[in-house]
Amino acid sequence: MTTVSGNKGLQRENPMPTITFATEKKEIQVPEGANLRKEALAAGVSLYPGVHKVLNCHGMGSCGSCRVLITKGMENTSPRGLLEKARMGVSMAYIGNEETMRLACQTRVNGDITVTTCPATNLYGENFFS
């Protein structure tokens, strides 16, 4: 029988990743590999602006309306797939946000991340015409 004295030095072996929704000031813990869209919706976080709340592709990756900015922890997300690359390649909102913008429905969470939902399209930003 093994005896452990005290709690010093003990950590959970596999802590669950935390998603921080910056706009909503909300944090949730999710299983590793969880789908960002599904977890956000289950937590009551709105991913869709305006009419897209009703008119969206329901997680198929074709409409681009569930776009989010990963402001911290991009390395803790799944790599972009072909479908996501193709969809984001024709999106005006993607210009200037190539390093941080993802489709929530195509993103798997593998570690802690911070997310900004419903980012505005910045048509006059410094990166738009560069």
Pairing of strands 101-103, 67-72: antiparallel
**How many helices (H) and strands (E) would you count in the chain?**
2, 7
- Percent of the chain at pLDDT > 90 equals 65
CB neighbours of residue 1 within 10 Å:
2
Residue 128 has pLDDT above 60, yes or no: no
pLDDT in tens, 37-67: 999 999 999 999 888 888 999 999 999 999 9
Pairing of strands 113-117, 18-21: parallel
Q: Average pLDDT of the chain?
A: 86
CB 116 within 8 A of CB 68: yes
Q: How confident is the model at residue 28 (pLDDT cuts 50, 70, 90)?
A: very high
CA dist 17 → 34, 77, 103, 117 (Å): 9, 11, 18, 18
Per domain, the residue ranges of the chain are: 18-117
- Structure token pair of residue 101: 């913008």
Q: Which CATH number fits domain 18-117: 3.10.20.30, 3.40.50.460, 3.40.640.10, 3.40.225.10?
A: 3.10.20.30
3-state secondary structure of 86: helix
